[in-house]
């Protein structure tokens, strides 16, 4: 009997121990209490410099460095505008750039994270504790890395590099679907315009100049692409330049005698109208001087809005061939889909007319 009692006690104690161990083990395995393995908390992407960059799984804080309005526009179009933690640089704090803060009100009171030469303000950046810095300034990459700040480099040398930049950010933000939607929209828009303008004989294509009247320069080489894509003949095409811009003098302008002039500064239209020297140009005689549209960025330079640039230019160059194009609807749909912003009619008009900040 005593042996039997001892055995029962041993069995009882053993069962209690097993139950207790199972209970403790169960508590420890509570999903809320278990940390993810480090590799599951981060992701590795490859940027446009071919660098492997390790980023947090969830990106919550973004800094754009360098050409901030350009990078903000891309970031906004990728559905990440609420995560930008830097403000606009000094040059972009004028009324001309109002749609940066219309589309992303949260950046209006954020600190500037770069100096006037676009070098990073490391002290401010470390305070902001970004999950990623997006830049087009290759010289800043090493500085940021040495301070433990994750940085993704984007390159935009050729006009259609924007598609690759968007794909990279699709990986950064784990939003490949939005990137694919933009690339598809870009390609389909360009294809439709090219199909129409391909029917226009070369000798009938309008001669176009995109310029800053104040500085007498063609401001950006990307204009050669959108002018040609929209069916125009750029008077500055094929001229060698050392950087983005191309200077010219008044004698050269008279020799070109463009049929359409697009100015990058709104006051350029009145400057031309009030200067008798311009009166002999075909574009002036025929009232074909236009302001460049301006949304998140000026459409006629590098911008995520490039498909809209081509649509606007095509309709401006060839109003008859593109009479069925509802540009205002295209603009409204673009910003609603990619910027998550519903433009009222007066803002559409302001953007397309180029009168922003006037």
Q: Give residue 8's pLDDT.
A: 54
Segment 286-290 mean pLDDT: 98
* Residue 342 neighbours by CB under 8 Å, 6+ apart: 332, 335, 336
Q: Give residue 39's pLDDT.
A: 57
* Contacts made by residues 333-336, CB under 8 angstroms, sequence distance 24+: 334/185, 334/305, 334/307, 334/308, 335/103, 335/295
Segment 23-32 mean pLDDT: 46
Strands in 62-65's sheet, in edge-to-edge order, are: 62-65, 132-135, 151-153
Same fold, 38-174 and 194-353: yes
For residue 303, what are its two tokens? Answer: 């911008």
Distances (CA, A) of 11 to 7, 8, 15, 16, 137: 6, 5, 6, 9, 72
H, E, C per residue of 235-303: CCCCCCCCCCCEECCHHHHHHHCCCEEEECCCCHHHHHHCCHHHHHCHHHHCCCEEECCECCCECCCCC
CATH 3.40.50.10320 fits 38-174, yes or no: no
Distances (CA, A) of 290 to 113, 233, 268, 349: 35, 16, 9, 14
> Given a cut of 50, is residue 6 above it in pLDDT?
no
Is residue 62 within 8 A of residue 55, CB to CB? The reply is no
Segment 245-271 mean pLDDT: 96
DSSP 134: E
> Given a cut of 80, is residue 36 above it in pLDDT?
no
Is residue 230 within 8 A of residue 313, CB to CB? The reply is yes
Segment 90-102 mean pLDDT: 95
Average pLDDT, the chain: 91
Q: Give residue 260's pLDDT.
A: 98
Buried b (16+ CB within 10 A) or exposed e, 71-82: bbbbbbbbebbe
Segment 90-105 mean pLDDT: 96
Domain ranges of the chain: 2-33, 38-174, 194-353
> Given a cut of 60, is residue 186 above it in pLDDT?
yes
> Given a cut of 80, is residue 18 above it in pLDDT?
no
**Mind giving me the DSSP string for 11-74?**
HHHHHHHHHHHHHHHHHHT-GGGSPPPHHHHEEEEE-TTS-EEEEESS---EEEESSHHHHHHH
For residue 283, what are its two tokens? Answer: 């574009």
The whole-model pTM stands at 0.88
Q: What is the pLDDT of residues 199-245, one digit of tens each?
A: 999 999 999 999 999 999 999 999 999 999 999 999 999 998 888 89
d(CA 184, CA 170): 14
CATH topology of domain 194-353: Rossmann fold (3.40.50)
> Given a cut of 60, is residue 161 above it in pLDDT?
yes
DSSP 212: B
d(CA 130, CA 135): 13
Portion of the chain with pLDDT greater than 70, in percent: 89
State whether residue 208 is helix, strand or coil. strand
């Amino acid at each position: 009997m005593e042996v039997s009692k001892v055995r029962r006690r041993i069995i009882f104690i053993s069962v209690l121990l097993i139950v207790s161990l199972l209970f403790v083990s169960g508590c420890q395995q509570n999903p809320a209490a278990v940390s993810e393995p480090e590799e599951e908390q981060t992701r590795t992407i490859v940027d446009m410099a071919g660098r492997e960059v390790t980023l947090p799984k969830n990106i919550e804080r973004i800094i754009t460095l360098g050409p901030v309005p350009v990078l903000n526009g891309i970031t906004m179009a990728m559905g990440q505008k609420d995560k930008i933690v830097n403000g606009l640089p000094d040059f972009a704090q004028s009324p001309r750039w109002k749609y940066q803060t219309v589309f992303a009100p949260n950046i209006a009171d954020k600190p500037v994270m770069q100096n006037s030469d676009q070098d990073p303000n490391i002290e401010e950046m470390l305070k902001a504790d970004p999950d990623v810095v997006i830049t087009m300034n290759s010289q800043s990459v090493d500085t940021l890395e040495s301070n433990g700040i994750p940085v993704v480099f984007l390159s935009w040398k050729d006009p259609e590099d924007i598609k690759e930049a968007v794909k990279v950010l699709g990986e950064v933000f784990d939003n490949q679907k939005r990137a694919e939607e933009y690339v598809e929209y870009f390609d389909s828009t360009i294809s439709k315009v090219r199909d129409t303008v391909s029917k226009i004989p070369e000798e009938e294509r309008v001669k176009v100049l995109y310029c800053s009247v104040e500085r007498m320069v063609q401001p950006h080489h990307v204009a050669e692409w959108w002018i040609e894509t929209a069916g125009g003949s750029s008077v500055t095409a094929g001229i060698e330049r050392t950087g983005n811009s191309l200077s010219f003098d008044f004698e050269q302008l008279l020799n070109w005698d463009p049929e359409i002039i697009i100015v990058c500064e709104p006051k350029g239209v009145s400057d031309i109208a009030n200067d008798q020297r311009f009166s002999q140009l075909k574009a002036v005689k025929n009232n074909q001087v236009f302001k460049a549209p301006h949304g998140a960025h000026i459409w006629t330079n590098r911008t995520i809005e490039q498909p809209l640039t081509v649509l606007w230019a095509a309709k401006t160059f060839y109003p008859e061939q593109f009479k069925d194009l509802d540009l205002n609807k295209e603009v409204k749909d673009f910003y609603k889909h990619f910027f998550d912003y519903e433009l009222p009619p007066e803002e559409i008009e302001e953007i397309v007319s180029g009168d922003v900040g006037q």
